[in-house]
Chain A
Amino acid sequence: MSVDSTVQDPKQDTATAEDAKWKPKILAFTCNWCTYAGADLAGLNRMKYPADVRLLRVPCSGRVNPQFVLHAFLKGCDGVLVCGCHPGDCHYATGNYFTRRRMLLYRRFLEYFGIEPERFMVKWISGSEAGKFRDTVIEASEAVNKLGPNYKYREEGR
């Protein structure tokens, strides 16, 4: 059976009206010790960045089960960030090494699933890198804005 490239996802047609007022919803899993602290510092320095990203605090990026990421995409998140301390600086010594390997694989897995890899970012932001936090938020926001809403695998009724 040949695939007609002009046929669009039926959901996308119905959603065009909604798209006009669409704002990206990006979830960021941030570790308590580095990235969350970096975000606090960005606030303290009164840095300005887009309001598309919501932070979810976890003790360590190693706590982030890939299933959480998938869950977020299924529920309609347009992008997901996983942020932690720089490898080698993990508060819990080794947590982010696991994150690094796990999320690298997971990114490919998501791509295989059909979720644009740009929707999923893994970043290392230390507690002193407020600027990097701001830049990451801007980068994620721009990437997701470019891609538009995420309808893939979104559960019905949402």
Chain B
Amino acid sequence: MSRIGVFICHCGTNIAGTVNVSEVAEAAKSLPHVVHVEENKYACSDPGQNAIKQAIEEHNLDRIVIGSCSPRMHEETFRKMLSETSVNPYMLEIANIREQCSWVHKEKEVGTEKSIDLVRMSAAKVDRNVPLYSGEIPITKRALVIGGGIAGIQAALDIADAGFPVTLVEKEPSIGGKMVMLDKTFPTMDCSACICAPKMNEAGAHPNIEIMNLSEVEDATGYIGNFSVTIRQKAKYIDYDKCNGCGLCEQKCPSKVVSEFERGLAQRRAVYKPFPQAVPSKPIIDAANCRKINEDRCGVCHKLCGADAINYEDKDELITQEYGAVIIATGYELIDWTKLYGEYGAGAYPDVIDGLTFERLINASGPTEGKIVRPSDGKEPKSCVMIKCVGSRDPHKGKAYCSRACCMYGAKHAHQFLEKIEDGECYVFYMDVRAAGKGYDEFYMNTLEDGAVYVRGRISHIYPEGSQYVCVGEDTLSKKLVTVSADMVVLDTAMVAQESADTIGRLFGVTRNLDGWLTEAHPKLRPVETNTAGVYLAGAAQGPKDIPDSVAQASAAAAKVIGMFCKDSLESNPMICTVNEINCRGCGDCVDVCPYGAISTQSVDRRENSVWVTRTLAFINAGLCQGCGACTASCKASALDLLGFTNEQILQEVDALCL
């Protein structure tokens, strides 16, 4: 026979103000198996907890109900309290009489009646609680960071500095991501490469960081503390152990291709480093454009390489490694505006470019050495139109969300254009100027003072006229049509999620929202965690972000990982599914339902009625099960049950309500 103690919290006047606490306590006394009822001023406070502990001792209670605030608030607090008593922490139910009664029902009788119902339901449930014990999960103290942009680099450095090994996986030939493509960063106008490249080098040289360039995550299994991840190391055709990065091969390669890094403004070779500061500072061979690999001709690089590092026979390699935690930092891509905005020329006008291409144009290490020229004829543009929100805040054509960084990089581009071009004219067409951030609005104001003309409105279409582009739009403040002829147009296009984020999200069980951004566990209170324990988010993979936010989030994710790695083992959640082997008929329906792959069917030899039989049974991996209970509802034989929320407990609650 269970001995239930019921504790009703006043929460000051939060509960007692609109719920007659004494009446609730009085009603609780008559509930089955309730042996002790007590009111408490603040149950969560130290004196409140001590009173509960004392009552447990005095009345020999073996389970308790606390009528208080939401269990989402203090369930953990009270479980911790119980762990210091003789009562198992899971012999606890909380009746939410604050958020669901006192705060939402003004009339005292109504709130009191509902509180009594809720306490009765909790008492009925707790009557069927059983002690649960968490197990221990060992931790592999090695982290995997997916994506080598500034967020990935920062996270990897932080974890590595704490003394834990990190693998940094990057799908491109070099780490650095988008940041290393930028010229300067707002609002301080730091040279982007000057602050990014040292970080890249630090990561490259760090003894705890292993950089895997030209690699992609192919498969992942396991759970927090124990992920097993398979990474595809694509063929680089260069033996990195032998290569000394002299760069001779790159100079002599006869095969020229458009450079992705330079956004099509320059060419690279088939054997190449995307940019001089690349990390690892060794080239790769782009097999699709290599004459030796495709046509078995040339082979110049092999002949010239003094280190004998060229290997045309190189193959993709699959590497499987154990990791304790994963940080996803896959970043963003720019929306392909050429497919969406026919009115802006759909990419047919060479001088209508996106912001990242403009960054390469004004970059001192870019193809023009920082001289702004028109891609079409190489002449200096005297006037420039910048259009914001191309693809952002445009649910009909692009994305409904704001890409956050464009207002500021648009202002930076305008500032840089006016700075570099004497007598230059710069028109910025905007919807709103969103400059929330430290020093951001001041920067925008300075841009206005520089002479940038901000026009509120959108450009409806662009057409070429002579060597210029005519931009037709509306100034919504003066309610007039405006036409601006410009030598160059820069589109501040929307950030969109990387396509690979979808695959990676699926591999690790991290949901994507409708726009493809990976979803955090809680938008405010758990912004870097995901709903898969042990998997964290950093940077723009979670949503559009600028550099400071990406770096901050990366360090936050790293702190979470380091915090976990500082423990020797993890406590597992004991509220997981169990199989009743007698009822289980091995149909395997639950296997398909489980989102975590925690259930498998296994053949078991058993002795039944003095005969050895082989039966198929569901088997639950306690480490993988997250306790959602989806399998329990799918089980036709009712063989599966969820500890902490058993069928019996739920039905008890239902019965108690319907009394």
Residues of chain A touching chain B, judged by Cβ–Cβ distance below 8 Å, are: 25, 27, 32, 36-37, 39-40, 42-44, 46-49, 51, 54-60, 62-66, 68, 71-72, 75-77, 88-95, 98, 102, 127-128, 158
Contact = CB atoms under 8 A, between A and B. Distances in A.
B595 A43 contact: no
A93 B106 CA distance: 37
B113 interface: yes
A63 B642 contact: yes
A94 B514 contact: no
A43 B121 contact: no
Nearest to B657: A54
Given A36-B72, A63-B633, A75 B655 contact: yes
B531 A93 contact: yes
A77 B657 contact: yes
Interface stretch (B49-57, B427-435, B645-653): B645-653
B99 A43 contact: yes
A32 B72 contact: yes
A32 B522 CA distance: 13
B593 interface: yes
Nearest to B505: A93
B104 A91 contact: no
Contacts of B72: 32, 36-37, 40
30 contacts: A25-B658, A27-B654, A40-B70, A42-B99, A43-B100, A43-B103, A51-B105, A54-B117, A54-B121, A58-B629, A59-B629, A62-B628, A63-B628, A63-B629, A63-B630, A63-B642, A65-B632, A66-B633, A72-B657, A75-B654, A77-B654, A77-B658, A88-B514, A89-B513, A91-B628, A92-B595, A92-B628, A93-B531, A95-B629, A98-B633
Contact residues on B (Cβ < 8 Å of other chain), bracket: 35 or more
Contacts of A91: 531, 628
Given A25-B658, A44-B99, A48-B104, A71 B651 contact: yes
A52 B629 CA distance: 27
Contact of A48 (B105, B511, B651): B105
B657 A51 contact: no
Given A43-B104, A56-B654, A63-B630, 16 more contacts: A25-B658, A39-B99, A47-B104, A48-B104, A54-B114, A54-B117, A54-B657, A59-B642, A62-B593, A62-B633, A72-B658, A75-B654, A89-B511, A93-B596, A95-B595, A98-B593
Interface in B46-75: 70-73
B105, B111, B626, B654 — most chain A CB neighbours (10 Å): B654
Contacts of B519: 89
Nearest to B110: A51
B195 to A, nearest CB: 36
Interface string B113-132: 11001100100000000000
